[in-house]
Structures are given as C-alpha cells and as structure tokens.
C-alpha cells in the first residue's frame, strides 16, 4: 500500500493505464482526498514521470470551480504522486448510462465550456475531453479532470509519444486526428461530441477501426438529433463543425449562449449557422411578466490610493425557478466573479450579491454561494467576505447576511 507522511491511505479506489488512485485522509485538514500515484512500471521512465509532474503543475495553476483542484504533488522514494479533491459522484460516462435530463445536459455543457475557456485563456489545451474525464462532486457539480496529455498552446510539438497522436479517437477533432496543429477549438469539438452523447446516450460516430472512425469525423455529416432535442441541432453543428473557423471560437460563447437559452432570452431552435436569434420574449410565458430575469454585475471604486485602489463587486441574479437561478449563480461565480478577481487582484475589497427569487429558493441559493468557499479559486473571499441579500420576488421583503469562509 502506498504511504505518504501526513496522510492515512484508506484503500485503492481506481486504476488506469498509468496510475492508481487511493482514498486517503489528510490529517492536517481532517478531510478525505484522492491521491493519484504513477504506476511503478512507469515511474522509472523519465518521459512518463515528467508528463505526470507536468500534469500536476498544470492543474495546480488552474483555479476554477469546474477544474479539479490539486492540493499537493511531488516525489517520495521514487514514487510520483499528486493529492487532489475527492470526487465521489462518479464520472460522466456513468451519468450518461443512467440517463440525463435536458437541464442537466445544458448545465454540464455550460460548466465544461467555462472550464475549458479558463484553461485556454491560461494557455493550455486539454486534448482528451471525454466522459471518463468529467467527474462529479457530491452536490452534482461537474469537474474536468486528467490533464495528463494537456499541452501549452504555443508548444511546437503536437505528439509527445513517438508515432502516436494522443487523445481518445471517439472524441477527437478532425484536425487532431490528422496530427495538425490544434488550439482550444479542438477541445470544443470534443465537447460537442459529448453534447450529442449526453442527449442521445450514444456518440455521434462509432467504428472499431481507427481509420474508419477517423474518416467519419473528417467526412461524415453531423448526425441529426432526435426529437425532442432537434431544436439544439444548430448548437451541435457549430460545436462539431469540421473546420475550426466555423465552430464556437471560445468556451465562453457556449456558456453565455446556454445561459441565455435557460433564461428564455434565446430560442435554440432559431440558431442556424452559428447565429442566435434573440427571442422577442421568453420562450415560455413567464409567470410574472413584470419581473425581468437575468444576471447583472458591476464594480464600484471604494478607495483610490497611490498604493493601490480598492473595489467593490456587486451583482444581482433574478430568477423565479431554481433551474434558472442555479444557472445564474454558476455563471456569476465561475465567470464574472473570477474574472473580476483576476483583473483587480489585491484590489478586491468587497463583494455583494443580491438574489431575487421565490422564498423557497433562499436556502439553496445561500448554500450554493457558500459552497464557493470550498474551492481554492475563491480563496480571496476569505479576505473580502460576501454580503448576501435575498429578496422575495413577490413581496420585496429582504434577508441580508454576511458570509465568511
């Protein structure tokens, strides 16, 4: 059994081609973690050892709610390891096998698009986006894992094992299958393949022979989604376009589009050739037309100084039902709030979030926001805290409190 000072290893919980994964207890923080250990057969191979450490370094530099956090990594007595968050909710392959509803598919797609956008902005391409590399926390949030073959966008080499194009062919873009130079749009193609699979429970192209499968990705038409999902065909075609120039150009485009769809601002059936038609009103008649649902944010200069200005971040999320509210909160946390912190850094002074919804959603909204503090990406909230205002959509009555981590 693998041993590491400061951790009590409980049992092995997984095994891949190159590594074993152990359930362990981190004694200093009294929490359960997952420890990934490079298999002994590969530990003596310099190339594999370097790739393993490069994965750990890459993920440790990517602080995002939907990218797995790495708490520690290194080498001990010839054994290479990395300590990560424990994700007990299974992987996306298991979720697809049991069946996903439409809203789950949209949420997972938006979260993964946001995670990929963040990685791409930091200069990394994942190159192996597939259901087995998407795992879930206990609360159901999706997490992108396994950056073992990720590379920097400006890296000159596409292939890191002689004679092999790395990745999983079933989810690889046409340009990746051909060994051409790739960028983040290749990951978005793989996300499109998963989008189809999440809706239909089967991948768009299948063939046991590598060359035949590759030719389907290169030449075959994009399959049609069956009813009742045919209204998402335009989105699928823009995600899986054969040419990168015809796809979504960033993960953020996908995340924002899905947010607009779930808020009733865009009709997915009217998306054609990549152009989203803004609906004249919500797709479904709103229960309260006077309430304008959506997400709004801004910043206020609190103090200007030669030693550094201080800013306050304010946001308002308005949604009657929990599905739309959770979408708004997820987008707020993983996109706007993190972008603001990235721009302002030590200038982040105050954070205030107002949630306008039904009273029965108050507890869930508070819990969702409180959960931000469990991710290293939001450690700045320990300094700023967060003032939360919960406002009843019917009566206007408010509950205000200050959250701390």
* Residues with a known catalytic role: 128
CA gap 316, 404 in Å, rounded: 19
SS3 category, 155: coil
Which residues in 209-237 are b (16+ Cβ under 10 Å) and which e? Answer: eeeebbebbeeeebbebeeebebbbbbbb
Residue 49 corresponds to which tokens in the numbers above?
């050892």
The CA-based dihedral angle spanning residues 157, 159, 161, 166, taken in that order and rounded to the nearest 10 degrees: 150
* Unique residue bearing structure tokens 């530099």: 61
CA gap 183, 188 in Å, rounded: 10
**Length of the chain in terms of residues written:** 405
Query: Residue 328 half-sphere exposure, CB side, CA atoms within 13 Å?
Result: 25
SS3 category, 148: coil
**Alpha-carbon 260 to chain mean position:** 18
CA gap 320, 293 in Å, rounded: 8
Give the H or E element holding residue 105.
helix 102-121
Helices marked H in 123-250: 174-177, 184-200, 210-219, 233-239
CA gap 8, 32 in Å, rounded: 9
* Unique residue bearing structure tokens 């979408």: 327
């Amino acid at each position: 059994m693998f041993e590491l000072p400061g951790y009590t290893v409980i049992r092995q919980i997984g095994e891949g081609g190159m590594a074993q994964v152990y359930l362990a207890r981190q004694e200093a923080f009294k929490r359960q973690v997952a420890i990934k250990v490079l298999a002994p057969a590969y530990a003596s191979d310099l190339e594999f050892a370097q790739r393993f450490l490069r994965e750990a370094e890459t993920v440790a530099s990517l602080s995002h709610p939907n990218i797995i956090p790495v708490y520690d990594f290194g080498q001990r007595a010839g054994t290479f390891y990395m300590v990560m968050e424990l994700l007990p909710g299974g992987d996306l392959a298991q979720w697809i096998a049991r069946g996903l509803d439409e809203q789950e598919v949209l949420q997972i797609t938006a979260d993964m698009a946001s995670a990929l956008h963040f990685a791409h902005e930091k200069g990394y391409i994942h190159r192996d986006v597939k259901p087995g590399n998407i795992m879930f926390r206990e609360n159901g949030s999706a997490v992108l894992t396994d950056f073992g073959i990720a590379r920097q966008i400006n890296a000159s080499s596409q292939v890191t094992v002689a004679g092999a194009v790395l990745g999983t062919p079933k989810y690889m873009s046409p340009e990746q299958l051909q060994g051409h130079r790739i960028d983040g749009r290749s990951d978005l193609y793989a996300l499109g393949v998963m989008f189809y699979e999440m809706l239909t429970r089967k991948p768009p192209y299948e063939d046991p022979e590598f060359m035949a499968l590759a030719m389907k990705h290169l030449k075959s038409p994009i399959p049609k989604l069956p009813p009742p999902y045919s209204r998402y065909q335009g989105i699928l075609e823009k995600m899986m376009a054969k040419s990168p120039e015809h796809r979504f150009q960033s993960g953020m485009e996908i995340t924002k589009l899905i947010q607009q769809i779930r808020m009733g601002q865009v009709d997915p059936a009217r998306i054609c050739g990549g152009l989203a038609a803004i609906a004249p009103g919500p797709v479904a008649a709103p229960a309260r037309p006077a309430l304008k649902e959506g997400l709004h944010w801004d910043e206020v200069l609190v103090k200007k100084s030669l030693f550094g200005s201080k800013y306050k971040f304010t946001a308002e999320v308005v949604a009657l039902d929990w599905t739309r509210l959770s979408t708004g909160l997820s987008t707020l946390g993983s996109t706007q709030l993190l972008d603001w912190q990235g721009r302002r850094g030590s200038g982040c002074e105050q954070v205030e979030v107002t949630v306008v919804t039904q009273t029965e959603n108050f507890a869930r909204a508070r819990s969702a926001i409180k959960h931000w503090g469990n991710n290293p990406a939001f450690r700045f909230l320990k300094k700023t805290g967060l003032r939360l205002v919960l406002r009843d959509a019917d009566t206007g009555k408010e509950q205000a409190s200050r959250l701390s981590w």
